[in-house]
Structure 1
Amino acid sequence: MTTERTTPLPDIEALSRNASLLVEEFGRAASRYMKPVTTPDALVVQPVEPPEEVKDVVRTLGSVAETWLADPKRTVEAQTRLSEAFITLWGSTWQRLQGENAPPVAQPEPKDNRFAHAEWSTNPIFDFIKQSYLITSRWAETMVDEAEGIDEHTRHKAQFYLRQISGALSPSNFVMTNPELIRHTLKENGANLVRGMKMLAEDIEAGQGQLRVRQTDPGAGFEVGVNVAVTPGEVVFRNDLMELIQYSPTTETVLKRPFLIVPPWINKFYILDLNPAKSLIAWMVSQGLTVFCISWVNPDARHADKDFESYMREGIETAIDAIGVATGESEVAAAGYCVGGTLLAVTLAMQAATGNKRIKSATFLTTQVDFTHAGDLKVFADEEQIRLIESRMQKRGYLEGTGMATAFNMLRPNDLIWSYVVNNYVKGQAPMAFDLLYWNADSTRMPAANHSFYLRNCYLDNTLAQGKMILGNVRLDLKKVKIPIFNLATKEDHIAPALSVFEGSSKFGGQVDYVLAGSGHIAGVVNPPAKPKYGFWTGGPATGRFEDWVAAATEHKGSWWPYWFQWLEHQAPARVPARVPGDGGLAAICPAPGTYVRMKA
């Protein structure tokens, strides 16, 4: 005997009441969305001009459509393929409705969690909706992939935009086409939609008129310096661009050579110090390193003219000066994460060109110096889009933090956007409390001069890899950089793809130890030895084809951190008594994590 899951009958009175409340909450959300653009004397409604980003989507996908329409024979063949797939699906669905078994025409990818609910497969109607969506979206992807006569940048943009559109139109996002959401809504008599609309209004208000989708519970109690970024230390130096933190030792002796961390300014540094169990900084200290870390200012209009050279000189170079005063050492080892690593590579090239070689070994964490294969972020870096970004930055002197945050979320829209839209605004559930996503939402701004230089010289023109970057009237050549380099990539990185990091290794003039870690841009880096989730691969110099290097590489279980520390210690193994922040040539200014990290965008 079998039992069927039945959908509970709704409470009509409660459903009606919640429908009324839903209308009220929708009104509040709409008013908050319209508030920033409403003025007291706005008596006439003006037509809304589509944003430039939308125009670019239309232009890009339109250019793909034009290539197909120019060849009617190929267009008919493509339409026939789609029709045949739907005819097969109709037949399969008819068989299932008659109680017969029929193989699926289209299946989700194994990692696609949107269709995990059983009824997407067991219910023929919802299975038809799911497969119709998969057939159509994959057919559209093929149309872009096989379009003739378009340049590769346009094709890349079209592929990216299509992923955004297909992700938004997934039937899993809507109540009436998602069996799980139907059951959930009927069970709660629509109360979930009321809660969701309330959260939507709150998130629009938090975004000052733009929707800022929450990824973690704002009431979870995360606070910088209280339960995130808690490794003990002191700010020992401060200028307009950065605070320099020196961390308190936990060992009796430390390596004589101090260690400087250069984090990205696109995010805040404490991704490397989320909590004691996952803190790379705390682990470094426990191994006997005198760790200094830059904490970049969250810039505003006053920093509009701070460019890449400013970040190099007032950031890295000034930090090395301060470390010398604090420790008496003139040489350091350094690590750069993401764009912080790109800045570190620029600094190494400048030091090689000028003879001021104070950085004696460098560690790059998911860092690009060659942007040929820079992944989907290149979608935002053609001449037209950079000019658009520059015009917006010119008005305020900086790029809003939400700009980069949205771009990063768009790299994985189903995981980082639509899953939260469904959870928050349809299910009416607050997202889980998660320190990583709290950090992700703690966005930073970018100074106009710095960000413009970065987009043009790295993503657009790739000048550093070609030996053509000019900074301070000096041409920079990475081939002159001869110091030992540890170059970490991660297998599933959407921001600094492993191939890009691999090919960047060949741009340096000295020995580069290329290591490939599991997972992505963050989880692959923050993988503590006490609870490692992923392994790593080593395989000697990064030469030849990337695929061949991976095929021949040796896999290691556990975290890459101990392997890296052995590499670092080998460069300069001498030890000295541990150094206490504030006891050297620099007085302590305030406890870590300092004040700049607390500045909100």
Structure 2
Amino acid sequence: MLAWLDWHLHLSFSPGKQAELLRLLENQLYEWPLLLSQIAGNQGMLTDEQIQTSDTRFKSESWSNWPYNLISRQFLQAQSFWDSATTGVRGVSSHHENVVNFAARQWLDMIAPANFYPTNPEVQRKTFEEFGANLWRGLQNWGSDVRKGVAQQIHKSETNEDLPFRPGQDVAISEGKVVFSNHLIELIQYAPATETVFSQPVLIVPSWIMKYYILDLSPHNSMVKFLTAQGFTVFIISWRNPDSLDRDLGMDDYVQSGFYAALKEVSKRCDGASVHTAGYCLGGTLLAIGMAGLPSLEESGEITVASMTLLAAQTDFTEPGELGLFIDESQLAMLDALMWKQGYLDGQQMAGSFQLLNSKDLVWSRNMRRYLLGEAEKSNDLMSWNSDTTRMPYRMHSEYLNHLFLHNDLAQGRYRLNGRTVSLKAINTPLFVVGTEKDHVSPWRSVYKIHSLSDVTVDFILASGGHNAGIVAAPGNPKCSFYTSKTLMPGEAVPSPDEWLNAAQRTNGSWWLHWSSWLANQNSDHVPARQLAEEFEFASAPGTYIFQ
């Protein structure tokens, strides 16, 4: 409401913007005589060239027939009008402009003609062909979803048994053992797949807002399995799923009891070898914070780090993408009040926010296919993992939203770790950084800013796909490609993201192979494979925390 008021007041005394919108309406009205004549000449149909839309909701041939071609065109015009009306109004704050534009898009996506039986020719044709069987299946799908939602509200959780791909049986099945455990993490070491391995191991720090096994899905697309096959000793952190008793766990705890505890254990188990570190999403942000505060540990001789890899991980949050729509002082006050009582942010609450970022596909188009077309939902391992939600402790969630997203303390050199201000300039290891083209969570142009925040060599990769599918890009996937350019050395002028992209070379295939070669170039020595002990006090992979 605050954003709407800001927009409405400024639009009301912006005659230039009002005149621009009137001209847009006039131009849209002028299209109709030509459009109607084309429809009459084509006997009620429009060709693909005349439709001219990339909107997947109206791609079916049925939408080119009268009157659905007029209905879809009118909706697309309304969508264009409101996009123009909610942007470019002088005086409106940037955040409020984005919120109003986002809200307008949410309403339009909800009332799109594709969502309703009377205005969707695909649904009508399906109903005619199947004598209404699709609507009966849709009703059953709706009932199933309602029962599942009620059960989740009662039990406040979803068990792993409810998932189509179950951890330890269908996914997360790489051979390994938990070799270290504390209240916050289980550290998993994986069995070697080669007779000799590189002397320097790889420690992966996944995000704590997701289960770690996105990096160990099915055998054909498991990053863990790929790395062990390349001759690396691989360790990964499995985060505990916190509850109300963990409300006071903060970011310092996640660095100390999470990253630092794992790093020390990995170094000890590999005879003090330097460790290659890799962090995904917020795990990468946590890794960057930990690495910025690491020099004191390195000086004490406790640890050495060979390299740092950031996978779709932001260190500068001035451009966090549409996720920033949910983050301002007012929203954080509401979230703190919500979390104060239960002590954590529930996974379903967080999942709802991510669904809103792409409600057209994740909510409304899904509902149309499921309830009107009566289609069964086709799940895969990545979708199944995505529904395996986690919680976040009150203190940690509040700290990272305030200090990172809202105030950008890490990039501005104000972030404090254990009472000491840390700087990304203190990181002294080579960086390998991956952004993904269609990332709504960590936009690649935001990820790219690490170039200007560090004083070390940076190899930047832009992978095809989104935040999840772009990272889970196993060799053999024909859809995979990535862009590379020259390594930027310390002190070199940093090109803008668009300049970098214009100069970059596109390669078909998986960036995993490129990363493996980069790691190998940092680490040429080999040692006999580090075998797992047959008897061990902890559980075998995937451990126990994954099932919480």
TM-score by length of 1: 0.84
Question: What are the within-5 Å matches in structure 2 for residues 176-187 of structure 1?
Answer: 176-187=118-129
Q: Which residue pairs with 2:498 in the alignment?
A: 547
Distance in 1 (CA, whole Å) between partners of 2:503 and 2:377 is: 42
Q: Which residue pairs with 1:33 in the alignment?
A: none
Superposition CA RMSD, Å:
2.4
Question: What are the within-5 Å matches in structure 2 for residues 426-437 of structure 1?
Answer: 426-437=372-383
Contact 1:89-1:105 at 8 Å conserved across structures: no
Q: Which residue pairs with 2:103 in the alignment?
A: 161
What is the one-letter code of the residue matched to 2:509?
A: G
Question: What are the within-5 Å matches in structure 2 for residues 229-308 of structure 1?
Answer: 229-308=172-251
Structure 1 residue corresponding to 2:304, chosen from 326, 341, 358: 358
Deviation at 1:327, TM superposition (A): 2.9
What is the one-letter code of the residue matched to 1:478?
A: L
Distance in 1 (CA, whole Å) between partners of 2:317 and 2:42 is: 54
DSSP 3-state at the match of 2:237: strand
DSSP 3-state at the match of 1:145: coil
Contact 1:86-1:132 at 8 Å conserved across structures: no
What is the one-letter code of the residue matched to 1:242?
A: I
Q: Which moved more, 1:402-411 or 1:487-496?
A: 402-411
Structure 1 residue corresponding to 2:327, chosen from 359, 381, 405: 381
Structure 1 residue corresponding to 2:85, chosen from 139, 143, 147: 143
Distance in 2 (CA, whole Å) between partners of 1:210 and 1:248 is: 36
Contact 1:253-1:575 at 8 Å conserved across structures: yes
1:231-272 Cα deviation digits (max 9, x unpaired): 111111221111111111110011111211000111111111
Distance in 1 (CA, whole Å) between partners of 2:510 and 2:108 is: 36
Does residue 31 of structure 2 align to residue 88 of structure 1? yes
Distance in 2 (CA, whole Å) between partners of 1:590 and 1:207 is: 32
Does residue 258 of structure 2 align to residue 315 of structure 1? yes
Does residue 501 of structure 2 align to residue 518 of structure 1? no
Contact 2:201-2:273 at 8 Å conserved across structures: no
Distance in 1 (CA, whole Å) between partners of 2:510 and 2:271 is: 33
Q: Which moved more, 1:543-552 or 1:180-189?
A: 180-189
Q: Which moved more, 1:154-163 or 1:353-362?
A: 353-362
Structure 1 residue corresponding to 2:415, chosen from 469, 479, 488: 469
DSSP 3-state at the match of 2:460: strand
Question: What are the within-5 Å matches in structure 2 for residues 400-415 of structure 1?
Answer: 400-415=346-361
Contact 2:345-2:394 at 8 Å conserved across structures: yes
Contact 1:485-1:513 at 8 Å conserved across structures: yes
1:140-169 Cα deviation digits (max 9, x unpaired): 000112212101111122222222222212
Q: Which residue pairs with 1:572 in the alignment?
A: 523
Distance in 1 (CA, whole Å) between partners of 2:401 and 2:152 is: 24
Cα gap change, 1:205 to 1:395, in 2 (>3 Å): farther
For structure 2, which runs of at least 5 residues remain unmatched after alignment? Answer: 154-160, 489-493
DSSP 3-state at the match of 2:165: coil
Q: Which residue pairs with 1:52 in the alignment?
A: none
Cα gap change, 1:98 to 1:553, in 2 (>3 Å): closer
Q: Which residue pairs with 1:46 in the alignment?
A: none
Q: Which residue pairs with 2:70 in the alignment?
A: 128
What is the one-letter code of the residue matched to 1:144?
A: T
TM-score by length of 2: 0.92
DSSP 3-state at the match of 1:207: helix
Distance in 1 (CA, whole Å) between partners of 2:146 and 2:530 is: 48
Deviation at 1:59, TM superposition (A): 3.5
Q: Which residue pairs with 2:365 in the alignment?
A: 419
1:212-247 Cα deviation digits (max 9, x unpaired): xxxxxx988421111111111111122111111111
Distance in 2 (CA, whole Å) between partners of 1:319 and 1:283 is: 21
Deviation at 1:454, TM superposition (A): 1.0
Distance in 2 (CA, whole Å) between partners of 1:163 and 1:199 is: 27
Does residue 139 of structure 2 align to residue 197 of structure 1? yes
Contact 1:93-1:124 at 8 Å conserved across structures: no
Q: Which residue pairs with 2:94 in the alignment?
A: 152
Deviation at 1:76, TM superposition (A): 5.2
Contact 1:92-1:104 at 8 Å conserved across structures: no
Q: Which residue pairs with 1:344 in the alignment?
A: 287
What is the one-letter code of the residue matched to 2:308?
A: A
Structure 1 residue corresponding to 2:474, chosen from 497, 508, 528: 528
Deviation at 1:74, TM superposition (A): 4.1
Cα gap change, 1:364 to 1:142, in 2 (>3 Å): same
Cα gap change, 1:192 to 1:66, in 2 (>3 Å): farther
Contact 1:337-1:367 at 8 Å conserved across structures: yes
Distance in 2 (CA, whole Å) between partners of 1:124 and 1:374 is: 42
Contact 1:582-1:588 at 8 Å conserved across structures: no
Contact 2:17-2:89 at 8 Å conserved across structures: no
Does residue 112 of structure 2 align to residue 170 of structure 1? yes
Deviation at 1:330, TM superposition (A): 5.2
What is the one-letter code of the residue matched to 1:295?
A: S
Deviation at 1:66, TM superposition (A): 2.5
Distance in 1 (CA, whole Å) between partners of 2:94 and 2:239 is: 36
Distance in 2 (CA, whole Å) between partners of 1:140 and 1:261 is: 44
Q: Which moved more, 1:364-373 or 1:83-92?
A: 83-92
Contact 2:436-2:463 at 8 Å conserved across structures: yes
Deviation at 1:275, TM superposition (A): 0.5
Contact 1:370-1:465 at 8 Å conserved across structures: yes
Contact 1:67-1:147 at 8 Å conserved across structures: yes
What is the one-letter code of the residue matched to 1:238?
A: S
Percent identity over the alignment? 36
What is the one-letter code of the residue matched to 1:509?
A: D
Does residue 432 of structure 2 align to residue 481 of structure 1? no
Deviation at 1:93, TM superposition (A): 2.5
Cα gap change, 1:124 to 1:62, in 2 (>3 Å): farther
Cα gap change, 1:74 to 1:544, in 2 (>3 Å): closer
Q: Which residue pairs with 2:507 in the alignment?
A: 556
Q: How many residues align?
A: 533
Q: Which residue pairs with 2:491 in the alignment?
A: none
Deviation at 1:94, TM superposition (A): 5.3
